[in-house]
Amino acid sequence: MAKSPDKTSPGYTPPSSPEAEQSVLGAILVRPGCLDDLIEQLSPDDFYREAHARIYMAMLGLYNRNEPVDLITVTQRLDEAGWLEGVGGRVFLAALSEQVGFATNVLYYAQVVHDKALLRRLLDAVQQIAGACFAPVEDVRDFLNGVEQQIFEIIQARQQKGGARLLRDLMQPVLEKIEELYTRKIELTGLSTGHADLDRMTGGFQDEDLIILAGRPGQGKTGLGLNICSNMSLQGVPTLFYSLEMSYDQLVRRLLASEGKIDTLRLRDGRLRPDEWSALQSAAGRLMDAPVFIDDAPTITFPEIHSRTRRLVAQAGIRFVVIDYLQRVKSRGRSKAEEVGAVAQGAKTMAKELKIPVLLMSQLNRDCESRDDKRPLLQDLKSSGDVEQEGDLVAFIYRDDYYDEDSERKGIAEIIIRKHRNGPCGTVELGFDAASVTFRDLSRETEPPTHWQEQENE
């Protein structure tokens, strides 16, 4: 292992390449048009030498005002700013255009400058972290989350920024994907929920999508979320379930009851019949090796969720995340509405960053219960503005027998999709057994589910 350099020694210099910095500046003077490519790749902060950073700032100032960028205009700009002598004067500027290797290699030189800047930022972060470790730390968990976020931001900075690309360059991979789906007759483009009708309507849960599942307390949100998690994991998909309301023990019992179709109360009390004991053992055997991760931290913040998920995606290959539920997650905000909005925005950002679907549970306000038809609407979401906006798919769970025990629709749960950015809206019916909190398909037929409603999405 290489020995760390001694920063106190006279010969120590942080990671930098003055030659590459000068080559970039010289290339701009020789071929100003290269700024079109450089402006998104390099910032003045990427230059180690302050003189080089000021010269680049002068060049950017001219470029942004649509003025010529050449030796005369750059010299004049620096002189007006009072920086000319500090950067080396006219002689130094004139020599820059002579020191460049090949102006056509400017992107290579710029990459060297950017990479050295990343190394310096990483070094600064490590030094700050080391210093902070010796200071009083009130909450080690918050401290570690901050450290991880600091390092992650540096890692993110090395990734290329998005930009406009020609349609024909973007079309080929899309056509190849469509051809694969057509050739292999693939019905799902996302992860299967384990429910055929729901899969047909959604195409499966798509990578980068934020799926909102909302309902009144007691309708079965947690049960459905666990059910989808176990269905995916039994197909070999690593899943992660955050529960801010139920403990590990309660969640495991729920999973066993659902998978074994066992009454949760009998399972809780241990009053099992021989057939139920056999079902329990079979369910435990199936779930034992299922890649389901459960986190039951009751006071977790969203930055902690983001941090833990990022780590588990890297370590365990997590492909699907459930957060139960939105209103209990802590975030920064002056009001509850702002806090809920920040969590919804964070969940969408996490889904896009990690390229996985995220299922976010949400409570509903009481407005739906004052209507004759109590099926939820988008406006029934608590602090609905940001939640509705961030969701790629917004669905509600509704059971008639929740309000009327003698309902003719007893044992049926409606999954009502009110918003779907990439597909139809409508209602999927699932069978629901309240005793074991089990959801099942009512039909395995191939035709579209009942209540299919094509709707325009805003």
Active-site positions? Answer: 245
- Residue 301, sorted as left (phi over 0), alpha (psi -120 to 50) or beta, turns out to be beta
Any residues with CB less than 8 A from the CB of 376 and at least 6 apart, and which? 214, 215, 216, 364, 368, 396, 398, 416, 418
Neighbours of 292 (CB within 10 A): 21
Q: Contact 25/52 with Cβ under 8 angstroms?
A: yes
> Which residues are paired to 239 by β-bridges?
292, 320
Query: What does each C-alpha distance from 49 to 69, 190, 435 come to in angstroms?
Result: 21, 49, 70
**Residues 32, 37, 43: CA angle, nearest 5 degrees:** 90
Assigned token pair, 142: 């918050």
Q: Could you identify the residue written with the tokens 């034992």?
A: 288
Q: Could you identify the residue written with the tokens 């918050």?
A: 142
Any residues with CB less than 8 A from the CB of 412 and at least 6 apart, and which? 399, 400, 401, 429, 430, 431, 432, 442
- CA 175, CA 207: separation in Å to the nearest integer? 18
